[in-house]
Amino acid sequence: MAKQTIKKNDSVTVLTGRDKGKTAKVLKVFPKESRVLVEGVNTVKKHQRPRKSGQKGQVVEVSLPMHISNVKLASEAKKSPKKVAAKKKEETK
């Protein structure tokens, strides 16, 4: 297992997935699973059954942990050079 540099309360940028490009704070780190829980990222709607009689069921939004390779420290993300698309030269015949 590689050394993990991301810790709790770090600001990270999401590299992949539907939340790509978002910057948020790390709430919890799971080193054994190589996952991090990021605030407001990778959210899903979970249907919750009623706990007590007379109480209604509800739909709750929950953030799920994502793999640590899918996030990068925000300070490092700013330093890394952006990829520049190469322009295609039209060949004339």
pLDDT for the residue 52: 87
Dump pLDDT digits (tens) for 43-75: 999 999 998 888 899 999 999 999 999 999 888
Contact 61/37 with Cβ under 8 angstroms?
no
**Residue from 69, 59, 64 nearest 41 by CA:** 64
- The whole-model pTM stands at 0.70
Region label for 89, one of left (φ > 0), alpha (ψ between -120 and 50) or beta (otherwise): beta
Local confidence band at 85 (pLDDT 50, 70, 90 cut-offs): low
Local confidence band at 1 (pLDDT 50, 70, 90 cut-offs): very low
* CATH no., domain 11-79: 2.30.30.30
Task: Please compute the mean of the pLDDT values over residues 28-35 and round it to a whole number.
Answer: 93
